């Protein structure tokens, strides 16, 4: 799964990317600091995994992670190639979710692409460029298939999509393998001043990059207090990650193998055989069965072995749908 971070130049995209991934992407007070996309992995905190490790005394622990892509800032005309628009747009064609960062802070020495701070205007600029870019994609597909009789039904659907995009409206339906940007799920992040002040705000997740950077050495309790005092979401970056997981409709399951306890992300409704493939392709191709124990029962029993003796574990076939908090042992044939 991939999440793309978008917005105008100098809105805090790369700073948020760095805070989430600790990737140390370049940040500077001028437009287009990001030229080539930055890619990094963010760990997904889950308080259940350390408790599992505490019980089984595992020396290794690995949280689930998710890929973030930080791309060049958009400007008006990006869909026609202005700025670094074409390159930017190509970088987010395959993401599953977009974080759209809006500048709400007023720091004077960080230039803005316009003369004043107006998040609603900035939001509309970026969204318009997404619609225009999608319109170009649809028109190219139409040109490619217009003389093919067998593609008449697809052409009708594309013309319907084109009408929606021309009006700046997200299409209600799409066609397979059409990499549209405007239809992707989106989370709006309001990057505020450190005191929580938000100029011309729109609805979104309230976060102050400057405050987060100043609190790196603080305890979690201290961070929450400062965020609350500023009227921000008290969860900060972890809350943003939670919003991402919720919007992506993903769940976490756990594995215990040898010296490592690990968390994994899968879409809600994933079958256990496909979850096994997330761990290793051999587990999926050679799947025999899974022994499943829910986290709550694991805690109640005080460990997997005791839970097995107490009859709390269940043997499941390949069609079992993984639940959030499942601890899973896969039995498979080596190929």
pLDDT tens digit sequence for 227-283: 999 999 999 999 999 999 999 999 999 999 888 999 999 999 999 999 999 999 999
Sheet strands (E) in the chain: 2-6, 38-43, 60-62, 65-70, 97-103, 185-191, 205-207, 250-257, 260-267, 287-294, 314-316, 326-332
H or E stretch covering 147 = none
Please, which residues bridge with residue 99 across strands? 5, 187
Residue extent(s) of CATH 3.10.20.30 domains in the chain: 249-332
- This prediction has a pTM of 0.85
Strand 326-332 with 287-294, pairing: antiparallel
**Which residue is it, tokens 């005092």?**
229
Alpha helix ranges (H) inside 10-151? 13-21, 48-56, 85-91, 119-145
CA 99 to chain centre: 7
Beta bridge partners of 188: 100
Task: Decide: residue 71, CB within 10 A, 0-12 exposed, 13-18 middle, 19+ buried.
Answer: buried
Question: Phi and psi dihedrals of 6, rounded to 5?
Answer: -130, 170
CATH number of 249-332: 3.10.20.30
| Chunked mean pLDDT (size 10), the chain, 335 residues | 91 92 57 65 93 93 94 64 58 90 83 77 91 91 82 89 94 87 94 85 90 94 95 94 95 92 96 96 96 96 93 96 97 86
Angle at which helices 152-166 and 119-145 cross, to 10°: 160
Give the pLDDT of residue 75. Answer: 65
Question: 124-136 b/e with 16+ CB inside 10 Å = b?
Answer: ebbbbbbbbbbbe
């Amino acid at each position: 799964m991939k999440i793309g971070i978008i917005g105008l130049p100098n809105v805090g995209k790369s700073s948020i990317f760095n805070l989430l991934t600790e990737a140390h992407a370049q940040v500077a007070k001028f437009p287009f600091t990001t030229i080539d996309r930055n890619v990094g992995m963010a760990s997904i905190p889950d308080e259940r995994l350390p408790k599992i490790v505490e019980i089984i005394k595992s020396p290794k622990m690995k949280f689930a992670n998710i890929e973030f892509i930080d791309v060049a800032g958009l400007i008006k005309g990006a869909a026609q190639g202005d700025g670094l628009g074409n390159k930017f747009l190509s970088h987010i064609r395959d993401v599953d979710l977009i974080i759209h960062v809006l500048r709400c802070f007023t720091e004077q020495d960080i230039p803005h692409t316009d003369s004043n701070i107006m998040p609603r205007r900035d939001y509309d600029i970026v969204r318009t460029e997404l619609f225009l870019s999608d319109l170009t994609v649809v028109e190219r597909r139409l040109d490619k298939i217009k003389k093919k009789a067998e593609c008449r039904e697809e052409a009708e659907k594309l013309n319907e999509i084109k009408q929606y995009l021309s009006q700046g409206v997200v299409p209600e339906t799409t066609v397979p393998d059409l990499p549209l940007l405007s239809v992707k799920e989106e989370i709006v992040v309001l990057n505020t001043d450190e005191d929580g002040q938000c100029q011309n705000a729109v609805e979104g997740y309230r976060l102050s990059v400057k405050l987060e950077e100043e609190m790196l050495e603080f305890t979690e309790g201290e961070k929450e207090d400062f965020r609350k005092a500023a009227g921000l979401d008290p969860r900060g970056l972890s809350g943003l990650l939670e919003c991402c997981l919720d919007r992506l409709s993903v769940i976490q399951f756990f594995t215990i193998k040898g010296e490592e306890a690990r968390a994994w992300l899968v879409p809600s409704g994933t079958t256990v055989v496909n979850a096994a493939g997330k761990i290793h392709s051999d587990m999926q191709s050679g799947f025999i069965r899974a022994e499943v124990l829910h986290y709550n029962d694991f805690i109640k029993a005080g460990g997997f072995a005791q839970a097995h003796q107490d009859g709390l574990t269940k043997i499941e076939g390949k069609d079992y749908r993984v639940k959030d908090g499942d601890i899973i042992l896969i039995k498979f044939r080596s190929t």
